[in-house]
Amino acid sequence: MSANTRGILAVELLSASQGIDFRAPNQTSERLEQAKAELRGVVPFYDKDRYFAPDIEKANALVQTGTYNRLMPTGLLPSL
């Protein structure tokens, strides 16, 4: 179940980042901009069609390794 949830979060991360990029030069919150920057470090903006599976795997790895944990508000998840 956790692997499936990570996959969903990976796809949501990709789509949210693309949506934020479409709204440029507007920006979102500082934390979300940092999260997007982490993703864009491994998955570039979709300027043309391409196979999504490799990008989903890269986004999934970011979630799995806890890359975004530092962006979570303190105390939100007691296990962190």
Domain coordinates in residue numbering, the chain? 2-68
What is the predicted pLDDT for the residue at 31?
93
Q: At residue 31, what is the residue type?
A: R
Considering the entire predicted model, what is its pTM?
A: 0.87
The tens place of each residue's pLDDT in the chain, 80 residues long, gives 989 999 999 999 999 999 999 999 999 999 999 999 999 999 999 999 999 999 999 999 999 999 998 898 888 877 76
* Spatial CB neighbours of 21, under 8 Å, sequence gap ≥ 6: 36, 45
Contact 14, 39 (CB under 8 A): yes
